[in-house]
A and B are shown apart, each in its own frame.
Chain A
Amino acid sequence: MSALNRIWLALFFLGYLVAGATGRVEETTLALLASMEDSVKFTIGITGFLAFWSGLLKIAEQAGLTQKIARALHPLLRRLFPRLPANSPALGAMTLSLAANLLGLSHAATPLGIKAMRELEKINPTPGEVSDEMAVYLALILGGISFVPSTIIAVRSQAGSVQPSVVIIPILIASTIGTIVALLTHFVIKKTRKERRR
């Protein structure tokens, strides 16, 4: 990710450039050194919550909660992918991966997502190019809808929030609207492309 490389470098470079110009080099370096201990403390602070949550999710996984949510998602996904038969492996893989994302199972979600993409490529009418199904599926993934954003809650709680979980519903609203807009964007672009071809 080259943009990230440049941004990170620029933060240090511009930072010390300004520090040099304003005579605050010493202070700046002290702040940098302090940030190192701070990072370790902060990581330890949020790791407790993350580990607890991860233990809970393991139980959910073994109890078959992912499959249960996948089954609930199935009717909705069939509408979004009308070209795929109900028992197609691609549809199955996509439902499972979206269920894992909803549950916040980040370990399981990426491998499942990769499997879904490979299944979609197998039935891609234009191999090597983004298919309609891939675009719709990725719009859902990019929307990032999740029941419990555990990392955000861990960070808020570590920062001393009196109500760390108060943002759950707002996050759900923001990600749902974001997902809908991404889906609409795809459908509008698809439609204008078809019309241009006529």
Chain B
Amino acid sequence: MNTLSVWAIPLFILVVLVCGEYKGVKVYETFIQGAGEGLKTGFQLLPYFLAIFGALAVFKTSGALNFFCRMAAPLATFLRIPEEILPLGLIKPLSGSGTIGFMADLTRKHGPDSRLGIMASIIAGGSETTFYVLSVYLGAAGITRPKHLVGMGLLGDLTAFCVAVLIAQWFQIG
């Protein structure tokens, strides 16, 4: 599983470059143009990081997070998951950038290759932002009542969350 993951990026790069060359795409110029656009996307994340890192800094340093974790500890122990991961599961269906900010905070605090860091990474990537997608996509078609779709999306999120926790439990780096 690890070898396959490690080879995903190099394989993707090589396939794209070879296909591009074969199809007559000016690979270098196109790359420059796309990278310029990507630069914008990256910096567009900054306001979200400011908001999330700022709020988390206040919430953590004040001791409020400790308090919250102590309250959530029985539930987390019951579910056999680390209590730090619970807030990530709550924010996941609400905000994509918020999730990335939260996951970044967890990976930096506990280490990206720690069990918690791996868990946070899989959860953050394991599903789409349910409420955002539903509001944009249904809004585009002029549909106001989502019917059972919210429940459907949240059940998918919950499933991905559980799978992420399970995988991270027996996952080993190296």
Q: Which residues of A contact B (CB under 8 A)?
A: 1, 3-4, 7-8, 11-12, 14-19, 22, 24, 27-28, 30-32, 34-36, 38-40, 42-43, 46-48, 50-65, 106-107, 110, 113-114, 117-118, 120-121, 124, 128-130, 134-135, 138-139, 141-144, 146-149, 151-153, 155-156, 158-171, 173-175, 177-179, 181-182, 185-186, 189
Judging by beta carbons under 8 Å apart, are A182 and B112 in contact? no
With a cutoff of 8 Å between Cβ atoms, the chain A residues found around residue B128 in the complex are: 141-144
With a cutoff of 8 Å between Cβ atoms, the chain B residues found around residue A65 in the complex are: 16, 19
A33 to B21: give the CA distance in the assembly, Å.
Answer: 48
B17 close to chain A: CB less than 8 A: yes
Besides A142-B153, A152-B100, 7 other A-B contacts (C-beta < 8 A): A47-B39, A55-B34, A58-B31, A65-B19, A130-B143, A163-B174, A178-B160
Task: Using CB atoms, name the residue of chain A closest to B9.
Answer: A165
From the candidates B2, B13, B57, B152, name the one contacting A163 in the complex (CB within 8 A): B2
A163 to B39: give the CA distance in the assembly, Å.
Answer: 24
Judging by beta carbons under 8 Å apart, are A168 and B8 in contact? yes
With a cutoff of 8 Å between Cβ atoms, the chain B residues found around residue A36 in the complex are: 50, 53-54
Judging by beta carbons under 8 Å apart, are A14 and B59 in contact? yes
B72 close to chain A: CB less than 8 A: no
Taking the nearest CB of chain A, how far is it from the CB of B171, in angstroms? 7
Question: B1-27, CB under 8 A of A: which get 1 and which 0?
Answer: 110111011001100110110110101
From the candidates A43, A47, A163, A171, name the one contacting B126 in the complex (CB within 8 A): A171
A96 to B117: give the CA distance in the assembly, Å.
Answer: 33
B43 close to chain A: CB less than 8 A: yes
B82 close to chain A: CB less than 8 A: no
Taking the nearest CB of chain B, how far is it from the CB of A156, in angstroms? 4
Once A142-B156, A156-B121 are accepted as A-B contacts, the answer to whether A63 and B25 lie under 8 Å apart by CB is: yes
B83 close to chain A: CB less than 8 A: no
16 of the cross-chain contacts (CB-CB < 8 Å) are: A3-B94, A16-B62, A28-B57, A28-B62, A54-B34, A56-B17, A107-B37, A128-B142, A138-B138, A142-B152, A142-B153, A159-B112, A162-B174, A166-B2, A169-B1, A177-B159
**Residues 131-159 (chain B) with a chain A CB within 8 angstroms:** 131-134, 136-138, 140-149, 151-153, 155-157, 159
Judging by beta carbons under 8 Å apart, are B6 and A186 in contact? no
Judging by beta carbons under 8 Å apart, are A56 and B34 in contact? yes
